[in-house]
Amino acid sequence: SIPLPQRDKWKKFAAVEFSTKEEFQKEVVRHVETTLARSLYNCDDLAAYSGAALAVRDKLIIDWNKTQQAHTLADQKRVYYLSLEFLMGRTLDNAMLNQGVKDIAAEGVSELGFRMEDLIDQEHDAALGNGGLGRLAACFLDSLASLDFPAWGYGLRYRYGIFKQEIIDGYQVEVPDYWLDFNPWEFPRHDITVDIMFYGFVRRYTEDDGSTVNIWEGGEVVQALAYDVPVPGYGTATTNNLRLWSSKPSTGEFDFQKFNSGDYESSVRDQQRAETISAVLYPNDNIDVGKELRLKQQYFWVAASLYDIVRRFKKSHRAWTEFPHQVAIQLNDTHPTLAIVELMRILVDKEHLDWDTAWNIVTETFGYTNHTVLPEALEKWSVPLFQNLLPRHLQIIYDINLFFLQSVERRFPKDRELLSRVSIIEESNPQVIRMAYLAIIGSKKVNGVAELHSDLIKTTIFKDFVKIFGPDKFTNVTNGVTPRRWLHQANPQLSALIKEKLGSYDFLKDLSLLSGLEKFADDKEFQKEWMDIKLRNKQRLAKYIKETTGITVNPSALFDIQVKRIHEYKRQQMNIFGVISRYLSLKAMTKEERAKQVPRVSIFGGKAAPGYWMAKTIIRLITAVSEVVNNDADIGDLLKVVFIEDYNVSKAEFLCPASDLSEHISTAGTEASGTSNMKFVLNGGLIIGTCDGANIEITREVGEERIFLFGNLAEDVEDLRHAHRYGKTPMDPALKEVCDEIQKGTFGEPGVFAGLIHALTEGGDYYLVSDDFASYLSTHKLVDEAFKDTATWAHNTIVAVSRMGFFTSDRAINEYAEEIWSIDPVKVDV
């Protein structure tokens, strides 16, 4: 740092944040003219966006610096959130909101000749995630900063985020998402690099005092370069850091020998190999693929992050045993589980702590969040792969397992079965490492993400560990969403109306204040304003649909939306079968009967994992049905089917406010929580759903009369599946009719959809579509009836919103802070 005598000069010229409209405008113009080398003669929307973003970015960075200094001085415990995915979406709007400069900035750009909405629309989504897990991480960062918790996120800076989805001839086509062309929200930290090692071998020798030392040597070295992304809190100066690692060739790795011998090409290829590590986000949701590059990503990210965390801890010269008092590390799913092993390696091999001391530190430091009970999603790594890539880590895992199994054996002697069930190593061919078990054994607390889910992990996949560790190690933290993005930013009109009634925007900081709305639920005037906003949001969506698909939809029809990753367990297939069934019954009606029906727009959106053929077939069925239904003159406005291309965070922001009904219809016991269910209800829509995930808690909060629940319960699933396996379940007749129609070729070449039908028949209907179909259809009938009574509908949506306070991510973060991390806030002075 700067010597004392010169500091006054620094302080005199310290960067100042803009606080007025004019200061903001000055910054925008300066950035456009200097940083971007443009001028008033060639400043388009993109350049104006860039100028505005850079101005806001500068403001963030000043707060970021203050926050980091305050946190360093406070020297309190921090939490590190390790997540392979951060689905941040766009930043400008959110940054302006959290910094409290939205109004002056909007006015400011308007006077410069632009509309803020247009500028916001120029921004590319930061799509470093697949779905719910990554978006949850982003909401958590917002809450951590808003609640003044000293927290860092650690992730990977993928050059390609989740692919862009194009629909061509009704099929999904994946296109790379190169999002980094212009990204003002990140700072490369060329001074912060870590060398990460792979492969090689372990050298073991005995010290003079007789102790054994293991040294991991040799192998490939790749450099991790830090990129920092400031994360501002709402209504506070706290601006936390999200550090994303990018891979590059390690300095000195360039092979001059090859180069000098004329093999320039291959020397460059080696360089590119290093860059490949952080090149792409794996586009798989809820399936474990076990690719070496993925394991490399995980280790690369975990090793760089731990190096950084340990370095920061060492700055305050504390004893190692204090590590868990200064550091909490949360593992978002099993992807970062190697951190447990890496910390053991650092403590034992490098810092020379004895095993037990090290293990105590480790198991006091980590927490593990599980997001799924689906067996195919639980990560397992092949032992031979591990042996080759991370030989020392494999030894450490063996030791962790050995000591663990010994302790189990002492407590449950002679239970061989138990030992093999809980072993970290599965005795398959090849042997595999069960990452979830490693995460449980190495963590202090394990949590699920909704009540039902947290119960299920205790009674199914992790049952044995409850027996071993006792029930207290397992806890629940129900997910939440940030009301800043998912209410105020997504639905500014609704937020403003709520503010008018409640007197202030305090509900954005304390969502439980929404309860104050309930007393207006029967106020006719208020109901009208409420429903008018819904209508305007639907009109905006209708306009978007028209522009992007050419389909005309009637904004006063019931908008029924299902947007999320396409997966059989989420049952978009059931939704589209239901749409077909509706279509068939409309076709069978007389003109008079049809006139009495509630018009519907069924809207779908979501990406299918590129290798998930069944999910892609579901998309094809949706688009095929839309081609037929939308062009059927008998049907007209009564039913429209729309597939929204390339669903992402910014599209979710205008879809959530535009639903009357949204669908959360997973097979009971499969969706851990769901978070879009919360977003849709918070925006004044009702939901149709199964008794699954957070739907159950939403029901408890809003009341059974405000949710359309249907279908079998989680406890029945096993028996139902069993019955299917033994051919004891005839297909539901309405579903049979739908299948027949598909097979008749009404929606094009039936062979295309054979897999979907097969899954219901010979496939054993694993997701129980047939079992739930009758109640699904009859519940949709109830929805239609309810929608006709506008006053009651308005009443119900107002009451539901007023009771959604629980589902803020602020509540979730406070629970983590108290029960899992034991951290306190640090106030940052401006």
Q: Which residues bind ligand GFP (CB under 6 A)?
A: 68-69, 72, 130-133, 136, 285-286, 312, 371-372, 449, 479, 565, 671-675, 693
The minimum distance between CB 610 and ligand GFP, in angstroms, equals 16
The minimum distance between CB 57 and ligand GFP, in angstroms, equals 16
**188/727 with CB nearer ligand GFP:** 188
In degrees rounded to 5, what are phi and psi of residue 807?
A: -90, 20
Q: Which amino acid is at 773?
A: F
In degrees rounded to 5, what are phi and psi of residue 763?
A: -70, -10
Torsion angle in degrees (nearest 10) through CA of 305, 311, 316, 319: 90
Distance separating alpha carbons of residues 609 and 618, to the nearest angstrom: 12
In contact, 758 and 601? CB cutoff 8 Å: no
371 is catalytic: yes
**243/509 with CB nearer ligand GFP:** 243
CA dihedral sign of residues 497, 499, 505, 511: negative
Closest CA to 124 of 28, 50, 29: 50
**748/825 with CB nearer ligand GFP:** 825
| Segment (H or E) for 194 | strand 187-198
DSSP secondary structure code for residue 41 in this structure: T
Buried b vs exposed e over 163-179: b needs ≥16 C-beta within 10 Å?
bbbebeebebeeeebeb
User: Measuring CA to CA, how many Å separate 501 from each of 18, 505, 678?
Assistant: 32, 10, 22
Under DSSP, is residue 340 helix (H, G, I), strand (E, B) or coil?
helix
**172/423 with CB nearer ligand GFP:** 172
**68/537 with CB nearer ligand GFP:** 68
In contact, 138 and 89? CB cutoff 8 Å: yes
List the catalytic residue out of 31, 90, 570, 651. Answer: 570
**324/669 with CB nearer ligand GFP:** 669
Token digits of residue 296: 């490399």
Token digits of residue 371: 């997001």
Token digits of residue 588: 């069978």
Token digits of residue 751: 């062979």
The rounded radius of gyration (Å) of the Cα atoms in the chain is 28
List the catalytic residue out of 294, 564, 664, 803. Answer: 564
Q: Which amino acid is at 269?
A: R
**60/274 with CB nearer ligand GFP:** 60
In degrees rounded to 5, what are phi and psi of residue 778?
A: -70, -30
In contact, 775 and 711? CB cutoff 8 Å: yes
Token digits of residue 514: 């929404």
The minimum distance between CB 732 and ligand GFP, in angstroms, equals 26
Token digits of residue 276: 């490949």
The minimum distance between CB 43 and ligand GFP, in angstroms, equals 32
Q: How many CB atoms lie within 10 A of CB 374?
A: 17
The minimum distance between CB 709 and ligand GFP, in angstroms, equals 17
Distance separating alpha carbons of residues 339 and 155, to the nearest angstrom: 13
**479/650 with CB nearer ligand GFP:** 479
The minimum distance between CB 479 and ligand GFP, in angstroms, equals 5
In degrees rounded to 5, what are phi and psi of residue 41?
A: -85, -20
List the catalytic residue out of 57, 59, 458, 565. Answer: 565
Distance separating alpha carbons of residues 183 and 577, to the nearest angstrom: 42
Under DSSP, is residue 299 helix (H, G, I), strand (E, B) or coil?
helix
675 is catalytic: yes
The minimum distance between CB 528 and ligand GFP, in angstroms, equals 34
565 is catalytic: yes
User: Measuring CA to CA, how many Å separate 26 from each of 64, 96, 113, 200?
Assistant: 22, 17, 14, 55
In contact, 738 and 580? CB cutoff 8 Å: yes
The minimum distance between CB 721 and ligand GFP, in angstroms, equals 20
In degrees rounded to 5, what are phi and psi of residue 709?
A: -90, 150
The minimum distance between CB 814 and ligand GFP, in angstroms, equals 17
Q: Which residue is nearest to ligand GFP (CB)?
A: 132
In degrees rounded to 5, what are phi and psi of residue 204?
A: -120, 130
Distance separating alpha carbons of residues 807 and 787, to the nearest angstrom: 25
Q: How many CB atoms lie within 10 A of CB 519?
A: 12
Distance separating alpha carbons of residues 666 and 656, to the nearest angstrom: 19
Q: Residues 6 or more apart from 565 whose CB is under 8 A from it? A: 130, 131, 132, 285, 286, 606, 607, 608, 609
Phi-psi category of 102—alpha, beta or left, where left has phi over 0 and alpha has psi -120 to 50? alpha
DSSP secondary structure code for residue 484 in this structure: I
The two beta strands, 171-175 and 126-128, are unpaired
The minimum distance between CB 312 and ligand GFP, in angstroms, equals 4
The minimum distance between CB 67 and ligand GFP, in angstroms, equals 9
The minimum distance between CB 672 and ligand GFP, in angstroms, equals 4
Residues that are catalytic: 371, 564-565, 570, 675, 679
